[in-house]
Amino acid sequence: MEEIKLDSGLNEYAFGKTDFSAMLTNEGFIAEADGTLTAGTEFTFRTWRFDEIKTLGSGDDAHVYFCGSGFSGVPLADIFDEAAARGADSTLRYDAARASFAVCAALSQAAKEHIRTGNTGAGGIYVDCEPDTVRILFLPAGLYDAVCGCSGAETYARLQGVWRSRALASRDDAAAAFTRAVIAYRALTGHLPYAATDETARNADELDRNYLRLEHAVNGMHKALADAVDSALELPALIQQKKAPQELPVAELPLAALYAELGLEGAAGVLNEAAHPGALPADAFNAKVSAYYK
């Protein structure tokens, strides 16, 4: 049976002292698409939620879990980590590129259709990519954030914190654009733009724009794609400048360019290196980057 099991990290006694059980009815979303994943793939959305709460394990290892049926997949954060740990494995790198593109495409479509998937980090986005179908589960955002909050700072950062900006919590569209940009940046560069585990340090980096812009991380990167990603990653800084909500620029992500830059245009299962005809000679590119960050 297809089932998602989310570990609260708490035993029954500790769980009983929280209000987590009241969150069981919180809704997430499943995005589904039939056929081979392409740059123009479109998704249908439906709500999803956990079915029950139950204790699994025994003795000191027994924890309370949220359990939900109708989906099986792997968290996007785990897909990224597995591909990074086994970088020589081209299949894992292809899977990571495909999964990250699918999530970015689904988030883009949800934004256009005014579907609020919730601001969930890559730990709470489950992906099931098959040759002829793609399914993505966005866990209920409030519930997932509450559960992650019990996991400690390092785990919280890996699953949730580095993918989201608390500065954008009141703006669903900007928050989703930021998360989508972080996912795209991670997929394109192998790094996170704001990677600090400490939340205070990470928030300061966001507000100071203390990251390596995508245009400077990849020589010859598609300009419109780099501009869209960098613009979204700098939304927290615009909030700090007290921009009115309606003035926040949320750029559309050029999905065809992302698809090509991720190397997905070739045969299924094979990553093609993206062409960068506008790339500068290495010395000139390095000098340009150094000059920008002086």
pLDDT for 89: 79
Tokens representing residue 214 in the block: 């995508």
Among 149, 143, 174, 177, which Cα is nearest to 161's?
A: 149
Question: Is the pLDDT confidence value at 247 over 70?
Answer: no
Mean pLDDT of 36-62: 93
Q: Are 199 and 151 in contact (CB under 8 A)?
A: no
pLDDT for 63: 94
pLDDT for 34: 86
Residues 6+ apart with CB under 8 A from 49: 24, 25, 26, 27, 28, 68, 140
Residue at 90: amino acid letter: S
Residue with tokens 């590119």: 285
pLDDT for 127: 97
| Low-confidence winner among 59-63, 118-122, 190-194 (lowest mean pLDDT) | 59-63
Q: Are 191 and 203 in contact (CB under 8 A)?
A: no
Residue with tokens 């340090």: 201
Tens digits of residue pLDDT in 172-181: 889 999 999 9
pLDDT for 72: 86
Could you give the strand order of the β-sheet that contains 63-69, starting from the edge strand earlier in sequence? 3-7, 63-69, 52-56
Proportion of the chain above pLDDT 70, given as a percent: 97
Q: Which CATH architecture is the domain 3-280 placed in?
A: Orthogonal Bundle (1.10)
pLDDT for 243: 62
pLDDT for 246: 62
d(C-alpha 205, C-alpha 212), whole Å:
11
Q: Are 280 and 131 in contact (CB under 8 A)?
A: no
Tens digits of residue pLDDT in 136-169: 999 999 999 999 998 889 999 999 999 999 999 8
Residues 6+ apart with CB under 8 A from 1: 69
- Torsion, Cα 124 130 131 133, to 10 degrees, reads -80
Mean pLDDT of 105-132: 94
Residues 6+ apart with CB under 8 A from 250: 111, 173, 174, 177, 232, 235
pTM for the predicted model, two decimal places:
0.95
Mean pLDDT of 94-106: 96
Tens digits of residue pLDDT in 191-243: 999 999 999 999 999 999 999 999 999 999 999 999 999 999 999 998 887 76
DSSP state of 53: E
Q: Are 253 and 225 in contact (CB under 8 A)?
A: yes
Question: Is the pLDDT confidence value at 255 over 80?
Answer: yes
d(C-alpha 285, C-alpha 291), whole Å:
10
